A = this chain, B = another copy of it.
Amino acid sequence: MGQLIKEAEKLEHWTVEGETLIRHFSFDDFLAGIDFVQNVSAYSEGAQHHPYIIIDHTTITIKWTTVDKGKLTQKDLDAARACDQFYSH
């Protein structure tokens, strides 16, 4: 197992499925979740690295992988940490 996957598995609240990092974020109301999606989207566009996002009422699921490499990369770990920051602020 690569060093990167080991590091990914240490990320609290995230799970590693194959080469994808996944976390479910819960919000008190729908629009709070949408605000979070806006922040994640702005980050994604800046990094030119876009996640798969599911909006299911007050639960937002974010999935990160590096499609053009076919695997998890440092960009995904950085992006997951950015999401955690947006969630805690």
Contacts and interface: CB of A to CB of B under 8 A. Distances in A.
A44 interface: yes
A55 B57 contact: no
A56 to B, nearest CB: 6
A48 to B, nearest CB: 9
A11 interface: no
Interface in A4-51: 30-31, 34, 37-38, 41, 44-45, 50-51
19 contacts: A30-B41, A30-B44, A30-B50, A31-B45, A34-B37, A34-B38, A34-B41, A37-B37, A37-B55, A38-B38, A41-B55, A50-B57, A52-B54, A52-B55, A52-B56, A53-B53, A53-B55, A54-B55, A55-B55
